[in-house]
Structure 1
Amino acid sequence: MKVLSNWRSVRLWETQLERDLHRNYSLRTHGILIGTFTLLLMWGVSALQMHVLDVQSLAVRYLLTLGVGYLGYLLVLRWWARRLVEGRRFEGDVDVPDMDLGGGAGSHDHVSVADPADGGSVLSDVAGGALDVAGGADEGAIIVVPVVAIFLICTAIVLGAGSLVLLYFSWDALLAVAVEVAFSYVSARAAVRVAREGWLMAAVRLTWKPLLGAVICAVALGAVLDHFMPQVNSLPEAVRALLKKH
């Protein structure tokens, strides 16, 4: 019963912290700013690969761009979350004895923040099917190939853009990371030992599905363009080339 009481006090503290963050900050606005920064970072990485490093494969370029963008997103997310909570006083916010309340890292189930990417596997299946169609297309079908290419490009762009919006512009990950950072302050100052998943695992748990969908769509898009239009060096150039044909 004592353990349940201690765990309940932690949950009440966590719920109160989330309410305070919602009340004091516009988390949606913060998510938009973080997402905008991440997209600008990805644009810079893509431009660097195209103009300086001369990476010819669009599939490789998109994969590297998303990888660097995600790493940058995690770092900014951690820094931003720390700024949100560093002004609070944590010494007396929670009263929990020095005892282990869980079975190890990752055993804490954060129920107040919903996973926004439950449909990420659907994006992966659709993008994978589109890539299979592209690989099996008859190169001699002069009329069919442009139509299939346009369809695949549009599908990959729509699904990939939706995944990126879920990934970078959602405030759920920011809130989860802020709670984990705040709890690390409590643990350090009050000698509290409670099994938590940590800020990095919390962020990855909420973002890996849209990241997977975005990566598959981007690589599929790059592979389609590399296969059907090897002469183009960017997506806008490919769109202009397709418009000229029609």
Structure 2
Amino acid sequence: MKVLSNWRSVRLWETQVERDLHRDHSLRTHGLLIGTFTLLLMWGVSALQMHLLHVESLAIRYLVTLGVGYVGYLCVLRWWAQRLVERRTEFEPPDADLGIDSTGDQGSATDAADGGSALSDVAGGALDAAGSADEGAIIVVPVLAIFLLCVAVVLGAGSLVLLYFSWDALLAVAIEVAFSYVSARAAVRVAREGWLMAAVRLTWKPLLGAVVCAVALGALIDHFMPQVHSLPEAVRVLTGARKG
């Protein structure tokens, strides 16, 4: 019973920290700024590959861009969360002295992760269906190609919005950083997943959805329109072919 009581005190402490962060900061605005920075970073990486490195394959270019963007996002997320926590010096450690190996759940953050996986699940199902079809039965015409482009862009963009502009990961990382601070000066010995695992747990499904859509889109353009070098150029070619 004592273990349960102590563990409950840790969860109450998390709830209080979450309320304080919501009260003192506009987390939605912080998420918007982090997402904007990440998209600008990805735009720069994509432009670098296209104009300086002369990477012709859109599939490879999109894969590298999303990979670099995600690493940059995690770094900015960690730095940003630490800045939020460092401004609060009055964190009180939870009244607990636990020697158990228990990770627990991250309540509201887990719910956000489940909601953020919807688009990635749809994208994965669409890719499986396309892969199981007979290649000879697929007839690509301009109208169908434009439709597939739009689907991939919408699903991929939606996954990126859920991933980079959500404040749930920022909140989860901030709580983990705050816990590391108080546990360093108090007798709090409870196993935690850490800021990196918390961030990855909340973001890997939207990232997977974005990667699937982006790579599928790039592979489609590379195969049927090898002469184009960007998505806007592909859209212009398809639109011209349809009008013609």
- State yes or no: 1:211 paired with 2:207: yes
SS of the residue aligned with 1:190?
coil
1:161-180 equivalence runs, <5 A: 161-180=157-176
Partner of 2:225: 229
Partner of 1:25: 25
Q: Report if the CA contact (8 A) 1:102-1:108 is conserved.
A: no
Q: Residues of 2 paired with 1:22 and 1:82: CA distance? A: 15
Q: Residues of 1 paired with 2:10 and 2:165: CA distance? A: 29
**CA offset digits 1:15-72 (Å, max 9, x no partner):** 0000000000110111010000000000000000000011000000000000000000
Q: Residues of 2 paired with 1:55 and 1:108: CA distance? A: 45
Range with greater deviation from structure 2 (49-58 or 87-96): 87-96
Q: Residues of 2 paired with 1:213 and 1:137: CA distance? A: 27
SS of the residue aligned with 1:176?
helix
Range with greater deviation from structure 2 (44-53 or 4-13): 4-13
**CA offset digits 1:47-101 (Å, max 9, x no partner):** 000000110000000000000000000000000000111122356342222x323
Alignment CA distance shift 1:192-1:93 (3 Å)? closer
**CA offset digits 1:196-234 (Å, max 9, x no partner):** 111011101111110000000000000000011100000
- State yes or no: 1:50 paired with 2:50: yes
Q: Residues of 2 paired with 1:132 and 1:45: CA distance? A: 33
One-letter identity of the residue aligned with 1:190: A
Q: Which ranges in structure 2 are unaligned for 5 or more consecutive residues?
A: none
The TM-score with structure 2 as length reference comes to: 0.92
Partner of 1:68: 68
Alignment CA distance shift 1:244-1:132 (3 Å)? farther
Q: Residues of 2 paired with 1:211 and 1:173: CA distance? A: 13
Q: Residues of 1 paired with 2:158 and 2:208: CA distance? A: 12
Q: Residues of 1 paired with 2:68 and 2:45: CA distance? A: 8
The TM-score with structure 1 as length reference comes to: 0.91
Q: Residues of 2 paired with 1:17 and 1:190: CA distance? A: 16
Range with greater deviation from structure 2 (47-56 or 145-154): 145-154
Partner of 2:117: 118
TM superposition shift of 1:145:
2.5
Q: Which ranges in structure 1 are unaligned for 5 or more consecutive residues?
A: none
More helix by share: 2
TM superposition shift of 1:110:
0.8
Aligned length: 238
**CA offset digits 1:96-121 (Å, max 9, x no partner):** 22x32334xxx221112222323122
Range with greater deviation from structure 2 (236-245 or 168-177): 236-245
TM superposition shift of 1:129:
3.2
One-letter identity of the residue aligned with 2:167: W
Partner of 1:145: 141
SS of the residue aligned with 1:112?
helix
Q: Report if the CA contact (8 A) 1:91-1:190 is conserved.
A: no
Q: Residues of 1 paired with 2:175 and 2:63: CA distance? A: 31
Q: Percent identity?
A: 71
TM superposition shift of 1:187:
1.2
Q: Residues of 1 paired with 2:132 and 2:55: CA distance? A: 24
SS of the residue aligned with 1:10?
helix
Q: Report if the CA contact (8 A) 1:90-1:186 is conserved.
A: no
